[in-house]
Amino acid sequence: MEPGQQQAPYLDALCEYARRNPARLHVPGHKGGQGADPGLRHAIGERALSLDIPALTYGVDVGLDPTPFEHAQRLAAEAWGAKRAWFLINGASQGNLAAGLALAHGGEEVVLQRNAHSSTIDALVLSGLRPTFTAPEVDPELGIAHCLTGEALERALAATPGAVGAWVVSPTYFGAVADVRALAAVAHERGVPLIVDEAWGAHLAFHEQLPEHALAAGADLVISSTHKIVGSLTQSAMLHLGHGAGGMIGEDAVDRAVTLTESTSPSALLGASLDAARRHAAVHGRGLLEHTMAALADTREQIRAIDGLDVLDGRLAGRPGVFAYDPLRLAVDVRGVRASGYELAPLLREIDDINLELYGQNVLVAVFGMAERGLPEASRLVSALREAVQRVGIEPGGAQASFAAPPPWGELAMTPREAYLGAQEVVAVARAAGRIAAESLATYPPGIPNVLPGERLTADTLSYVQRTLEQGGSVRGASDRRLRTVRVVVEGRGGSR
C-alpha cells in the first residue's frame, strides 16, 4: 500500500470547510443544516448536513492543482491500479451509460453479454450502439446464468467485424467470476477494448485470496459499484480506465461521457464517502476481508448442515462460465426443500425480518459487505433458514430437477435506441408475435433478458415468459408485469409517441 492511501483529502477538505463556519452564500438552501426540516436534522445529524456543500467550492474541488477532489480520484486510481478513476454519483448505472457513450466515439457496433444490467441496455438507447448479443453459460442444474467464455466472445467478435468493444459482466449476482484474462486476450487480439461491468467486485482488489479483479486481469474500462460491497454511500460508484486502454478508449471521451451523465450538482457526501471507502479498503481491506471470508465459510458450513439446503461456493469454479467464485456472496441452493426461493424469501421475512438481496426459483442470495463484524446477520439467516425448512419440509430428489433453457432471442430488427424513440403502441400479448418490442422482458430465473427493445417477439418466447410467470417466476422490464399486454413499435412510422 502506498503511504498516500492513509489520506482522504476530499473528506478532509469538506470537514475543514464545515469547521471554518463559512458564510454559506450558495446552495443548498438548508445552509449547512440550519434551514433543514428538524426531522431530517434529527435523522441524519447536523454534521452530515454541514458537509453537504456544492461543487465548485474553492479549496475543495476548484483552486490549486491538484484540488482535494482530483487528489482523491488519483488515490482511487492508484488503489485499484487504474490509469484514471472517476467518482460517479449516479451509481454503476452511470458508469454503464458513460461507457456506452465513450465507446460510441469509435463506431456503431458493440459485442455485449446478453444478461447485462438494465443500465447497459439504457446505454445502448442513449448511445445508439447496435449490439451483437452473446449468451453467458446457463447452469442447467441451478437454472442461473454464469459468465461469458472466451470462446463465446471470440465467436461474437468474429461475427461483428465493426465492433468497437466487448462488454461483459463479472462477477454475477450469484458470485461467479469470469476468466477476464482470457476475455481480455480475445478482445485485444481483435484490437478492441474489453469493458467489464464489475459492479459486484469492487472489493476483489483488496485480498490476494479473492479472484483477480478485472483491471489487474487486463480490462480496459471497469464499472465498479463501490457502494455495493466496499460500502460507500448508496448511489456512489467509480469508473476506472485501464493502463492499457490507450488508443482503444480515449480518456477525454470517457471524461465527457461522465460529465454528460451526471448532475451539475454532484453530492459532496457521496464523493466523500467514495474517498473514505477507498481509504478504508486500501488501509484495512485485507484484514477486514480475511475476517469476513472466514466467518462466511463457517456460515456456509452451517447452512449445508441443514437437511435440504446447499450453498454455492468454490466448487462452482470450473463449470462452464465460472472461472472463480467470489466468497462475499452467500447463495443458498434451495432445490432440496419443498418450496421455491420465491416462497422462502417472504417466509424468512416473516420469521426474523430477514431481507435478501435477490431470490429466484432455486437460489437465495444474501450479500455481505467487506467489513462485517461477527456476522450476527449470518447467524440470524442460519436460524431462520432452519426454521423455514422445518415449516415447509424437504423434497428428496428436488436437487435433481433440471431447468428448461429459454428459447433463442428474436432477430434484432432495429437498434434499441430506434425502438425506444420510435412510435409505439400497447397490444394484447396474443397479437404481439412478429412485432418489434419497445421494452425489455427478462424472466427470473435465470435473468437473461428474453426480449430487448428492437427485437422481434416470437411466439415461443412469449409463451415461455408466460409459463415462467404461471410457475411463480417474475419478469423484469415489462410495463405489464403480468404480461397480458406488451409495448411494441409501430412499424413504418418514424418519430416518437
Residues making contact with ligand PLP (CB under 6 A): 91-93, 96, 117, 119, 169, 197, 199, 225, 237
Contact 277, 283 (CB under 8 A): no
CA torsion angle 211 250 239 126 (round to 10): -120
Min. distance of Cβ 66 from ligand PLP in angstroms? 26
From residue 415, give the alpha-carbon distance in Å to each of 121, 161, 171, 437: 11, 17, 27, 11
Residue 210 and residue 292: Cα distance in Å, rounded?
Answer: 12
Minimum gap (Å) between residue 316 Cβ and ligand PLP: 18
In the complex, what is the shortest distance from the CB of residue 389 to ligand PLP, in angstroms, rounded to a whole number?
28
**Sheet hosting strand 358-359, strand order edge to edge:** 310-311, 329-333, 363-367, 358-359
Identify the helix (H) or strand (E) that includes residue 407.
Answer: none
Q: Residue 91 or 175: which CB sits closer to ligand PLP?
A: 91
In angstroms, the CA 9 to CA 381 distance is 38
Cell numbers describing residue 173: 449476482
Q: Which is nearer to ligand PLP, 367 or 392 (CB)?
A: 367
Q: Determine the Cα–Cα distance for residues 134 and 158; give it in Å rounded to an integer.
A: 12
Q: Where are the strands (E) in 58-127, listed by range?
A: 84-88, 109-113
Residue nearest ligand PLP (C-beta atom): 91
Q: How many CB atoms lie within 10 A of CB 23?
A: 7
* Rounded least distance, CB 394 to ligand PLP, Å: 31
| C-alpha distance from residue 238 to each of 182, 192, 200, 317 (Å) | 24, 22, 12, 27
Q: How far is the CB of 197 from ligand PLP (least distance, A)?
A: 5
Is the separation of the CB atoms in 117 and 198 below 8 Å? Answer: no
CA–CA separation, 309 and 332 (whole Å): 7
d(CA 144, CA 316): 12
Q: What is the per-residue burial (b if ≥16 Cβ within 10 Å, else e) of 236-255? A: bbbbbbbebbeebbbeebbb
Which lies closer to ligand PLP via its Cβ, residue 91 or residue 131? Answer: 91
**Which lies closer to ligand PLP via its Cβ, residue 199 or residue 371?**
199
DSSP string, 167-219: EEE-S-TT-EE--HHHHHHHHHHTT--EEEE-TT-GGGGG-TTSPPPTTTTT-
Cβ 119 to ligand PLP, closest distance in Å? 5
Nearer to ligand PLP, 119 or 440 (CB): 119
Closest distance to ligand PLP from the beta carbon of 146 (Å): 13
Taking the complex as a whole, the smallest distance from the CB of residue 351 to ligand PLP amounts, in Å, to 26
Q: In angstroms, what is the minimal distance from the CB of 88 to ligand PLP?
A: 8
